[in-house]
Amino acid sequence: MISVCGLQNLVPSVLIWIMTFKSCLGQFEENSTAMNYPEYNYSSVDYDDYPILCDKASNRQFRLWFMSTFYSLICFLGLVGNLLVILTFFYFKRLKTMTDVYLLNLSFADLLFSLTLPFWAANSMAQWVLGLIVCKSMHAIYKVSFYSSMLLLCFISVDRYFAISRAVSAHRHRTQAVFFSKVSSAVIWIMAMLFSVPDMMYTTINNKTCTPYSSSSDQLRIGIQTGQIVLAFVLPLLVMSFCYSSIIQTLCQARNFERNKAIKVILAVVGVFLVCQVPYNLVLFWITVVTAQGGTKDCHYENHLLYATDVSQVLAFLRCCLNPFVYAFIGVKFRRDLLKLLKDFGCMSQERFFRYNFGRRRSSLATDTETTTTFSP
């Protein structure tokens, strides 16, 4: 038990301690009130220095119906058209020319490209939930098929150039042409894989989106997009421009009633390439310039770039379903084989087959030639 004397000594000590603590607390409050904290003066804060999150809700709503509609349509037409080309080639075993080999490889490239479109649509409209392996695989297949398709279009134009503008030398090496086309096709696929290595390495899931870029100002993005513009647009455009302009000059000097039709076919091929590729590559070039400048802080401008990218990308993707019609179905011999294939599979009656096949006037050139498209690319 505590003695009375001890209690008498303890009480004054506690009282003194309490009085001292209250005095210190009051002095601290006075000093706190008197102190000036300019950085916490909210009336003087400049909120313009803080980044504002760009609202992209309207773009997401646009993608929900735009991507799903057009990607589904392109995927369906691309699968049907390219499968018909591949089936016709294997059913009739008609890999007899360089153009045949290149068209078959082009159909495989466009078919692979069409198979990636559902994944592209899912990646554009919602969060990516399929994992990193599927993400990398989608980008790898897309890039390989994309680069191989563009390079094959170059080789098809070169083949048509030698077959028409350099017919004598092409006929001299006719026996080696098919072998060379097979070797060159293998080289094209290898080159397409090499061009796709950066996308395969750096593709990851960033901000719940499958992409090889970490941000809108990523320096890696500049290099990848610049390489894509040069290798998959500028190079094919230069090669096709030289080859088809030379072919048109040769055809203009020829006296043949098929000449005008052949020129129209070439103009259609070049027109489809320009309509599909020019808008997308112009937008891609401008986005690369904006990225090199550090991106943009204008939300309205950024949303306009997204709209332009979506629309021009759909135009570029159209090529995978238009290539079979422009490069294969337009050929007289190939079209006849396709009709026969449909007849053999019961999709066309015998009467309709003969009406389509023999009801039209055909030139002796179209009848005797073994090429898929003598004048058409």
Q: How confident is the model at residue 93 (pLDDT cuts 50, 70, 90)?
A: confident
Q: Look at residue 369 and tell me whether its pLDDT is greater than 90.
A: no
> What was the pLDDT predicted at 219?
78
* 228-252 per-position pLDDT tens digit: 999 999 999 999 999 999 998 888 8
What b/e readout covers 99-124, taking b as 16+ CB neighbours within 10 angstroms? Answer: bbbbbbbbbbbbbbbbbbbebbbbbb
The domain spanning residue 109 has which CATH number? 1.20.1070.10
Share of residues in the chain with pLDDT > 70 (%): 78
Q: What is the predicted pLDDT for the residue at 76? A: 94
pLDDT given at position 215: 63
pLDDT class for 181, splitting at 50, 70, 90? very high
What is the pLDDT averaged over residues 71-94?
Answer: 90
204 pLDDT more than 90: no
> When comparing pLDDT for 96 and 107, which is higher?
107
**pLDDT level of residue 104 (50, 70, 90 thresholds):** very high
SS3 205: strand
| Cβ-proximal residues to 155 (8 Å cutoff; 6+ apart), any chain | 102, 181, 184, 185, 188
| 22 part of a folded domain | no
Alpha-carbon distance of 244 to 273, in angstroms, equals: 12
Ramachandran angles phi, psi of 36, nearest 5°: -115, 120
In the chain, pLDDT over 90 holds for what percent of residues? 29
Paired strand residues for 210: 205
Handedness of CA 195, 281, 272, 257 (dihedral sign): negative
pLDDT surpasses 50 at 187: yes
Assigned domain for 376 exists = no
Please state the domain count of the chain. Answer: 1
Residue with more model confidence, 133 or 200:
133
Domain interval for residue 90 = 67-365
Of 53, 56, 223, 207, the closest CA to residue 123 belongs to 207
| Domain-embedded: residue 373 | no
Contact call for residues 303 and 59 (beta carbons, < 8 A): yes
Instruction: Give 44 or 345, the one with higher predicted confidence.
Output: 345
Establish if 375 belongs to a structural domain.
Answer: no
133-154 pLDDT tens trace: 988 888 899 999 999 999 999 9
Alpha-helical segments (H) within 97-230: 98-125, 131-164, 167-172, 174-195, 197-202, 219-229
Mean pLDDT score, 65-77: 91
354: confidence class by pLDDT, cuts 50, 70, 90: confident
Asked if the structure places residue 80 within a domain, the reply is: yes
* Contact residues for 283 (Cβ-Cβ < 8 A; gap 6+): 305, 308, 309, 312
Please give the pLDDT value at position 242. Answer: 95
Q: Is residue 40 within 8 Å of residue 290, measured between CB atoms?
A: no
pLDDT at 34 over 60: no
Q: Where are the beta strands (DSSP E) in the chain?
A: 204-206, 209-211
Quote the CA–CA distance of 190 and 376 in Å, as a whole number: 27
Question: In the predicted model, is pLDDT for residue 131 greater than 70?
Answer: yes
Taking the CA atoms of 103, 109, 111 and 117 in sequence, report the sign of the dihedral they define.
negative
First to last CA, the chain: 113
Domain membership of residue 162 (yes or no) is yes
Residue 32 belongs to a domain? no
Look-up of token digits 């009336």? 43
pLDDT digits (tens, 9 = 90+) for 251-285: 888 766 566 777 888 888 888 999 999 999 999 99
Mean pLDDT taken over the chain? 79
User: Would you say residue 352 lies in a domain?
Assistant: yes
Instruction: Reply yes or no on whether the pLDDT at 64 is more than 70.
Output: yes
Distance separating alpha carbons of residues 106 and 292, to the nearest angstrom: 34
Residue of higher predicted confidence among 326 and 213: 326
**Residue 11 above 70 pLDDT?**
no
